[in-house]
Amino acid sequence: MNNKKVVLVVGAGDATGGAIARRFAREEFITCVTRRSGDKLQPLVDSIQADGGQAHGFACDARKEEDVVALIEDIETRLGPIEAFVFNIGANVPCSILEETARKYFKIWEMACFSGFLNAREVAKRMVTRKRGTILFTGATAGLRGAAGFAAFAGAKHGIRALAQSMARELGPMNIHVAHIVVDGAIDTDFIRDNFPDKYATKDQDGILDPKHIAENYWYLHSQPRDAWTFELDLRPWNERW
């Protein structure tokens, strides 16, 4: 019997995506992580392997269908069945609607929405044949309401939430758990530290999200019994306004 199990994290950055990969690796998942620049994945892969886990990094443009199809085929054939899939691409780029360009608007949608469709579709095709699996989409407050200056990001995040809803209703009866996680608040990253020092200063008071704590919730969703599946889970610090 093949006991291999794989988690695929698309958009495995230095914070949330990396923390999710590490969390699943602790449960003996073969961890597959992707970014457009494969060399940026090496520290994460080395860290997981140093802790005794199995990890593989892949350079992949998640917006290109042929690349995504080849990636999923390679993982499923060479490493094992993808039991959990996490889509974690952000593309949060603010801009006034009066200055937004068609090119940038489309690129943000491609990154934060279209690529989610491509990857989730390919993974779902494999999961339904096995009648099991988990598909998790990282969302944002922008997927619930569009703020001024974030038209492109809000449009993409509304789209990924709608995709998750549709997939959950179609695939749930096939024993595929699809969930959407709304991450509402600043996350403990170098970007927040360098660009929002006042917000980062609240870290000692639990005022920003810890990627490790976010990752625990992704594992929790994967572990849920199917008689009590969560579709949407929102995570925010105690002091976040909403």
Triad 133, 237, 16: Cα angle to 5°: 40
Would you say 137 and 180 are in contact if contact means Cβ atoms under 8 Å apart? yes
Q: What is the pLDDT of residue 3?
A: 74
d(CA 62, CA 36): 8
What order do you get walking across the sheet with 176-183 strand by strand? 54-59, 30-35, 6-10, 82-87, 133-140, 176-183, 232-235
Instruction: Tell me the mean pLDDT in the region 94-108.
Output: 95
Q: Which amino acid is at 94?
A: P
Q: What is the pLDDT of residue 131?
A: 97
Instruction: Render pLDDT for 201-236 as a digit per residue (tens, 0 to 9).
Output: 999 999 999 999 999 999 999 999 999 999 999 999
pLDDT band at residue 2 using 50, 70 and 90 as cut-offs: low
d(CA 223, CA 226): 9
pLDDT band at residue 195 using 50, 70 and 90 as cut-offs: confident
- pLDDT over 90 at 96, yes or no: yes
Fold of 6-235: Rossmann fold (3.40.50)
Q: What is the pLDDT of residue 155?
A: 96
- pLDDT over 60 at 120, yes or no: yes
Owner of token pair 């494999």: 126
Proportion of the chain above pLDDT 70, given as a percent: 99
DSSP state of 146: P
Regarding predicted confidence, which is higher, 13 or 42? 42
| DSSP H stretches of helix in 51-189 | 65-78, 102-109, 115-130, 151-171
Would you say 89 and 68 are in contact if contact means Cβ atoms under 8 Å apart? no
- Provide the residue ranges of all domains of the chain, joining segments of one domain with +: 6-235
Regarding predicted confidence, which is higher, 50 or 39? 50
